């Protein structure tokens, strides 16, 4: 049985990864962001039978000592802790550098000193920027179109340098846009669903033309796990993608059809990214992950949306639908 640490376990993808790894018989240490409320984020939504096999460790990914202590005695580290909201990165780039780059460096340094067996660094499709060709494979150029994406590029390249310099067993895992239960309202699918379920007749959105490749969160979590099972992924950067795309406008129309056909879309200027910062097209190649692992997406987009809508129906009290969440 592997001893596994998940940083960012209290977040959206992290909580799903924690849940799935425990269900598969692993003992998991969940690294959560320390706060005075002693909140464990979305881990508090997990069933008791899952949480009894989870050791919760509160700290801050920016604190090198806290990271090192958390990683002692650990075989595998899934590093998901990060600041991810793109609009907020325009306001607070220092925080993104400290969390996303320095936080990743803390994991890498501790892993080197402790001789950790495997380290999985979570990247993002945003590092590619607007597609220069499709489907986007792992050889696609990088383009920092926001402070967020720039810090994730920096973290990825640090991870690559530790693999090449110190021969560390590192894999860079690069999910394309993930959606599903427990996602923050700053993301587009929860933004649309929560406005619709709140009864709004006018759904406020930014640009409708960009396209995205959406992974259902359970498929994303399974992608991490399958990548971890394969030694062929060591030293590699691996996309998790469906190789299908849909525009934000088409997505909104589909959710409107399912929830409230009378609703209409309106453009909210504060939700628009600066023109050169908007990523206009993301369509990922999943050839590499299919070639190197046993991963296949199990959920259709329709099935994933259905489960997501059902979650939000029963958890609207967790979300603020009357403001723009950044």
What confidence score (pLDDT) does residue 2 get?
83
CB-facing half-sphere around the CA of 242: CA atoms within 13 A: 22
What confidence score (pLDDT) does residue 325 get?
79
Question: Domain 3-179+215-240, CATH 2.60.40.1730 — does that match?
Answer: no
CA distance 177 to 212: 7
What confidence score (pLDDT) does residue 272 get?
82
Q: What are the pLDDT tens digits along the chain (326 aa)?
A: 689 999 999 999 999 999 999 999 999 999 999 999 999 999 999 999 999 999 999 999 999 999 999 999 999 999 999 999 999 999 999 999 999 999 999 999 999 999 999 999 999 999 999 999 999 999 999 999 999 999 999 999 999 999 999 999 999 999 999 999 999 998 999 999 999 999 999 999 989 999 999 999 999 999 999 999 999 999 999 999 999 999 999 999 999 999 999 999 998 888 888 989 999 999 999 999 999 999 999 999 999 999 999 999 999 999 988 787 77
What confidence score (pLDDT) does residue 158 get?
98
What confidence score (pLDDT) does residue 239 get?
98
Structure tokens at 42: 């979305």
User: Alpha helices of the chain — where are they, by DSSP H?
Assistant: 12-23, 48-51, 64-71, 86-91, 93-96, 103-114, 147-166, 188-197, 217-229, 248-259, 287-292, 301-313
What confidence score (pLDDT) does residue 275 get?
87
């Amino acid at each position: 049985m592997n001893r596994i640490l998940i940083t960012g376990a209290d977040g959206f993808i992290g909580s799903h990864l924690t849940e799935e790894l425990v269900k598969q018989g692993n003992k998991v240490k969940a690294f959560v962001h320390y706060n005075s409320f002693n909140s464990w984020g979305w881990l508090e939504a997990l069933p008791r039978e899952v949480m009894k096999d989870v050791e919760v460790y509160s700290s801050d990914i920016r604190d090198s000592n806290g990271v090192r202590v958390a990683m002692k005695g650990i075989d595998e580290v899934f590093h998901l802790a990060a600041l991810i909201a793109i609009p907020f990165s325009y306001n607070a780039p220092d925080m993104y550098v400290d969390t996303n780059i320095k936080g990743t460096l803390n994991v890498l340094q501790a892993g080197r000193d402790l001789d950790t067996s495997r380290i999985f660094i979570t990247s993002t499709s945003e590092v590619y920027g607007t597609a220069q060709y499709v489907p986007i494979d792992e050889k696609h150029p990088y383009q920092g179109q926001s402070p967020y994406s720039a810090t994730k590029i920096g973290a990825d390249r640090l991870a690559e340098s530790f693999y090449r310099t110190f021969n560390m067993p590192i894999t860079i895992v690069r999910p394309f846009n993930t959606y599903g239960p427990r996602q923050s309202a700053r993301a587009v699918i929860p933004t649309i669903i929560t406005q619709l379920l709140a009864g709004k007749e006018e759904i406020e959105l930014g640009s409708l033309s960009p396209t995205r490749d959406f992974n259902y969160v359970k498929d994303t979590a399974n992608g991490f796990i399958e990548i971890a099972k394969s030694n062929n992924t060591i030293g590699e950067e691996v996309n998790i993608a469906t190789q299908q795309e849909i525009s934000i406008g088409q997505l909104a129309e589909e959710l409107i059809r399912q929830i409230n056909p009378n609703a209409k879309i309106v453009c909210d200027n504060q939700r628009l990214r600066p023109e050169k910062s908007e990523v206009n097209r993301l369509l990922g190649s999943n050839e590499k992950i299919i070639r190197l692992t046993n991963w296949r997406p199990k959920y259709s987009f329709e099935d994933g949306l259905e489960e997501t809508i059902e979650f939000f129906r029963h958890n609207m009290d967790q979300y603020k639908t009357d403001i723009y969440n950044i």
